[in-house]
Structure 1
């Protein structure tokens, strides 16, 4: 959360002259309401089902840059779909997360004790992110442009 997936995805898409698609935006568009409301109205299980479907659809339909929600990798189905693809794990520390989001923003999974919840989520998710990632890029104290440059170098995306 707050690592810059959407921002970096859009910039990377621009650099590659490719469209960027964000599965969180797909979910919001399809549900007709923000993610926080989906969590509160239908629950996390319902949201995760929508997320799995959004990722499956996007991977089947979209050939450009794809930004996935932070919890998407929790589903084994999604990790299987990502296997062998040029996945980039954008990571940041809790200090950077606090600076960027304040860790008090209206995010459903951080509603109670945000710093502790963020750490718990990262402990659960980090091994799964690492499992599917071809590249790990830290966004701590870096601009989105700097992050995109590292991704392009790491994935050898520069045109000759």
Structure 2
């Protein structure tokens, strides 16, 4: 196992496990994930993109043709497969961590980072795009509020929580790196070596 106190030349921690970013749609998982991966010198992957490649369809098409349960089943398999690879940074879809099996695999094989964002930040980001299947409802704002209420207690089980506020992406990425460094050097993590 890589020792958590080891660092890259840029001062970032060397990853003992894959970093999995979780959180609501619009929390910045892909945007921040790319920045974090670049700073850590590892590959960035987006679970939704990997699912689309595996299925040969877009997320919207999978939801429309087969429903959410079929999508979650594929998502579960794809994430489990990805976590067998060398450490990298993975952005997951908003519902991935809600699945007990996926959550268990992430807990075992990765370090989970919740990018927590307030409703206003999320709405400002997601309302600019129309590709969110779960928000195709008569009242998308209420749907988003309901998803926050349902998901935040489970997201709170993540190893690390970082606020994803209305700040420059490089600042949030730096907060993730700092939180990761603190997590990896915590006495409880050192004991696991």
Please report the TM-score for the alignment, with normalisation by the length of structure 1.
0.91
Q: How does 1:63-142 map to 2 (within 5 A)?
A: 63-83=87-107, 85-102=110-127, 105-112=130-137, 113-131=139-157, 133-142=158-167
| Counterpart residue number, 1:50 | 74
| Counterpart residue number, 2:44 | 20
Q: Deviations over 1:84-126 (max 9, x none)?
A: 5321100111111121121762311111111111111111111
Q: Name structure 1 gaps, 5 residues minimum.
A: none
Q: CA RMSD in A?
A: 1.5
Corresponding pairs, count: 156
| Counterpart residue number, 2:33 | 9
Between Structure 1 and Structure 2, the one with more helix by share is: 1
Q: Name structure 2 gaps, 5 residues minimum.
A: 1-24, 183-193
The structure that has the greater radius of gyration is 2
Work out whether residues 137 and 150 of structure 1, in 8 Å CA contact, stay in contact via their aligned partners in 2. Answer: yes
Query: Does 1:153 find its partner at 2:161?
Result: no
Work out whether residues 51 and 72 of structure 1, in 8 Å CA contact, stay in contact via their aligned partners in 2. Answer: yes
Per the alignment, do residues 103 and 60 of structure 1 end up closer, same or farther by CA in structure 2, a change over 3 Å counting? same
Cα distance, 1:146 vs structure 2: 0.7
Q: Distance in 2 between matches of 1:63 and 1:107?
A: 29
| Counterpart residue number, 2:18 | none
